[in-house]
Amino acid sequence: MSNLVLMTLLLMVMALAYQLGLTRSKRVAVTTNGTGFRMHSRPTYHGMLVAFWAVVPAAAIFAVWSLAQPGIINALVLAQLPPEFQPTTDTEQRILLRRLANLASGFGLTEEAADYELAAAAYLNQLHGIGRTLMTALMAAVAATALVLAWRRIEPHLRARNQMESIIRWLLIICSTVAILTTVGIVLSMLGEAFRFFTFVNPLDFFFGTTWNPRFSTVGTDGQTGFGMLPLLWGTLMIALIALAVAIPVGLMAAIYMAEYAPSKVRSTAKPIIEVLAGIPTIVYGFFALITVGPFLNQLGASFGLEIRTTSALTAGVVMGIMIIPFISSLSDDIITQVPKAMRDGSLGLGATKSETIRKVVLPAALPGIVGAILLAASRAIGETMIVVLAAGNSPVLTANPFEAVSTMTVTIVNQLTGDLDFASPQSLVAFALGLTLFVITLLLNVVALVIVRKYREQYE
């Protein structure tokens, strides 16, 4: 019986149990009517409770059994092999088990199978059958027992609603811990792998080294390699700065215009269109940089006698700037409109023009919020991957020239973890150390930004 059938059966049991609980509670309600007892809970709660008890223990058995069965069966099969054929290494054992599984499923092998293998495969098949039957039987027994017990508990006093509600509450609590577990998972997994990396490479060399040159793991770590992070950090910062240099003037001025000047019709069409920029997948920006912006900048540079490479820090930065315009413009727009009207009226009443009011009154009042928005956009730019993978040129050297190709932390993470690398070498473990650094940097930026934004909000609300 396949797992799918089993799950379907379980669902049917659930429906049946619900119905049984429902009808019994209704009957109990009718028979106790007039005897002075009133049902504590509505029939649906009784039904739900019975359904819960009928299905959840059985499903738990299924989960535990499915996890444990392969290991136990493999151990049993290996135990009954004649001693002379016992596999000696892990790899041999894996290959043997794979062969046996193929034999057992009836698809045969490319070469002839030995007698002992045939016997083992038959035994494997037999065990599978037994395991399956046992599990199904156990599930059926548990489901039936739990169903009957839960069903017989139905009586006027049973506080079915309260029990069901506490079950629901626990489910909700379990769900809300998933987010925490994710953070814990991120931190633990990155810390673990990063520490493994630091057993190969001195942390000081990593954080303050100026050469980035991780050889392939086959070459070994023989002094030739450099795991200095600074060129990557510098590339990341340079691209982020260029992006901010593009996005801050455009985003901020657009926000000011839309919040203070634009007629509502312009505002209601332009704002969503600009926000489209935030929804476009970053891989699309990367491609755009590669085929349009890069060649354009290259030609522009040529006409001024400058040599701008098609894939350079400038290309990646400009395109990334386009991407973060809406982050700055929407957030700043919200913050500017939140500045109280009385402040504007006061300034206008003293004879200031509108732009003076904006520059001298509204913007200073909104400044903390705008800084927060810019920091959020900056953290977005630092963690951005696909644009830089395609458009930054991937050359990890320390250069101050934005027209040259650079590399960033995110690009390097992708480069080190794609392709055939084993996870035990410093060449791939370095990705986790870089990821941890990236995580910490963006976390700090976000925390600072959130604190600034929150502090500002408290002033006016």
Partner 1 sequence: MTPSDSEQTKTQQPDLMDLAQKRDLMQQRVAASLKRRHASEKRFRLYGMAAVTVALSFVAILFITILSKGLPAFWQATLTLDVYFDPEIIEIDEKPVRQPGESDGAFQQRMLAWQTDLGFVNFNRIILNSLAEVLPEAPRYQRDAMRLVTSGERFGLRQLVEDNPAIVGQTLRLKLLADANVDVWLKGNIDRSLPDSQQQLSARTRAWADELAERGIIRNQFSTALFMNADSRSSLASAGLAGAFMGSLMMMLIVMFLAVPVGVASAIYLEEFAPKNRLTDLIEVNINNLAAVPSIVFGLLGASVFILWFKLPLSAPIVGGLVLSLMTLPTVIIATRSTLKAIPPSIRQAALGIGASKVQSVFHHVLPLAIPGILTGSILGVAQALGEAAPLLLIGMSSFVASVPGSPFDQSTALPVQIYLWQGNELRNFFEARTSAAIIVLLALMISLNALAIWLRRHFETRW
Closest approach of partner 1 to the CB of residue 401, in Å: 25
Stretch that binds partner 1, among 237-245, 303-311, 318-326, 331-339 (CB under 8 A): 318-326
User: Which residues 73-132 are close enough to bind partner 1 by CB under 8 A?
Assistant: 105-108
Q: Give the residue with the Cβ less far from partner 1, 228 or 286.
A: 286
Question: Nearest distance from residue 231's CB to partner 1, in Å?
Answer: 18
Q: How many angstroms separate the CA atoms of 454 and 376, rounded?
A: 13
Task: Looking at residues 18 to 77 of the shown chain, list those that interact with partner 1 (rule: CB under 8 A).
Answer: none
- Nearer of residues 150 and 453 to partner 1, judged by Cβ: 453
**Backbone CA torsion sign across 28, 34, 35, 41:** positive
Among 252, 320, 378, 392, binds partner 1 (CB under 8 A): 252
Which residue in 77, 254, 313, 392 binds partner 1 (CB under 8 A)?
254
Find the binding residues for partner 1 in span 287-306 (CB under 8 A): 287-288, 290-292
Choose, by CB under 8 A, the member of 228, 235, 384, 394 that binds partner 1: 384
- Are 280 and 375 a contacting pair, CB within 8 Å? no
Buried b (16+ CB within 10 A) or exposed e, 337-374: ebbeeeebeebeeeebeeeebbeebbbebbebbbbbbb
Choosing from 142, 256, 297, 362, the residue that interacts with partner 1 (CB under 8 A) is 256
Check: CB of residue 230 under 8 Å from CB of residue 209. yes
Residue 443 sits in the site that holds partner 1 (CB under 8 A): yes
How many other CB atoms are there within 10 angstroms of residue 11's CB atom? 11
Q: Which of 28, 313, 386, 405 binds partner 1 (CB under 8 A)?
A: 386
Q: Pick from 279, 400, 458, 461: which binds partner 1 (CB under 8 A)?
A: 279
Cα separation, 243 vs 239, in Å, equals: 6
Q: Which stretch binds partner 1 (CB under 8 A): 58-66, 123-131, 331-339, 431-439?
A: 431-439
Give start and end residues of each alpha helix (H) in 81-159: 90-104, 115-152
Query: Of 7 and 280, which has the nearer Cβ to partner 1?
Result: 280
Nearer to partner 1, 143 or 323 (CB): 323
State which of positions 363-382 bind partner 1 (CB under 8 A). 376, 379-380, 382
Distance, CA of 306 to CA of 451 (rounded, Å): 43
Contacts (CB under 8 A) with partner 1, residues 172-191 = 172-173, 175-180, 182-183, 185-186, 189-190
Alpha-carbon dihedral sign for residues 243, 249, 250, 253: positive
Q: How far is the CB of 148 from partner 1 (least distance, A)?
A: 27
Q: Are 429 and 194 in contact (CB under 8 A)?
A: yes
* Residues numbered 140-169 forming contacts with partner 1, rule: CB under 8 A: 161, 165, 168-169
Least distance between partner 1 and beta carbon 346 (Å): 18
- DSSP β-bridge partners for residue 212: 227
**Helices and strands per DSSP (H, E), number in the chain:** 17, 2
Burial class (CB in 10 A: 0-12, 13-18, 19+), 409: buried
398-417 residues near partner 1, rule: CB under 8 A: 410, 413-414, 417
Q: Nearer to partner 1 by C-beta: 16 or 262?
A: 262
Contact (CB, 8 A) for 44 and 19: no
Distance CA 16, CA 10 (A): 10
Q: Which is nearer to partner 1, 252 or 361 (CB)?
A: 252
H/E run at residue 105: none
